[in-house]
Amino acid sequence: MVKYELPRLPYAYDELEPYIDKQTMEIHHKKHHQAYVDGLNRALAKISSEFHPKYITSILSDLNAIPESARSEINFFGGGFENHKLFWEIMTPKNNGRPDGKLSDSIDVYFDNFENFKKEFSNKAMSIEGSGWCWLVFNQTFNKIEIVTTTNQDSPWSIRKIPLLGLDLWEHAYYLKYQNRRLDYIAAWWNVLNWDYVENRFSELID
């Protein structure tokens, strides 16, 4: 049976300081993400092993195929597992300011320019009520990029969109440092984006 494990962070807990503090990173990774890993393994243990060979993004893309008894748990914990895995990867202490190449071109086409994209993304992130995520996704059906939000740990894969980058807007992601100042957290987060990683992810999809 496939057993999911907590992915290693590609940097140390304190390396995203001062934008995201060490204590938040450590609790977020070791406690919250671990809880999604454990929950996903528990939920998968309940269903027939025929679903297990599929990677979690394939499972999330077709939740209706999952027996109803485990569906909502797999949606929640599987989404939580995969959302956080991507969240760590799209951040870096070595931020290079902004994307270039094909992603930059696409941002200019759909959002006019990078500054306007940041503004639209931030506004959408601010509009989430309760806990959720804000995403830049690739919409394969229309071959375009879009900003979407999901609630709780729902995954973009479940709405047939491929996440390019995502921002965690659960309070556990920012409350220790920013308390209720969600906008300050969002503004700080742009300073730790790994645009090389996001650009590569996008290039692989469109080539």
Query: In terms of CB distance, is 27 or 205 closer to Mn ion?
Result: 27
CB distance 172 to 27 below 8 Å: yes
Residue range at the interface with Mn ion (CB under 5 A); choices 115-123, 157-165, 170-178, 188-196: 170-178
Query: In terms of CB distance, is 168 or 199 closer to Mn ion?
Result: 168
Query: In terms of CB distance, is 99 or 163 closer to Mn ion?
Result: 163
User: 44 vs 2, 59, 78, 110, CA distance in Å?
Assistant: 9, 11, 9, 39
Kindly state the smallest distance separating residue 169's Cβ from Mn ion, in Å.
9
Kindly state the smallest distance separating residue 197's Cβ from Mn ion, in Å.
19
Query: In terms of CB distance, is 92 or 106 closer to Mn ion?
Result: 92
Kindly state the smallest distance separating residue 168's Cβ from Mn ion, in Å.
4
| Strands (E) located in the chain | 132-139, 144-151, 162-168
Burial 38-76 (b: 16+ CB within 10 A, else e): ebbbebbeebeeebeeeebbebbbebeebeeebeebbbb
Q: Is 118 helix (H, G, I), strand (E, B) or coil?
A: helix
Q: Which of 24, 168, 169, 174 binds Mn ion (CB under 5 A)?
A: 168
Query: In terms of CB distance, is 114 or 175 closer to Mn ion?
Result: 175
Within 8 A by CB and 6+ apart from 201, the residues are: 164
Q: How many residues bind Mn ion (CB under 5 A)?
A: 3
| Closest-approach residue to Mn ion (CB) | 168
Residue range at the interface with Mn ion (CB under 5 A); choices 108-116, 121-129, 152-160, 172-180: 172-180
Query: In terms of CB distance, is 144 or 181 closer to Mn ion?
Result: 181
Kindly state the smallest distance separating residue 22's Cβ from Mn ion, in Å.
16
Q: Footprint of Mn ion on this chain (CB under 5 A)?
A: 168, 170, 173
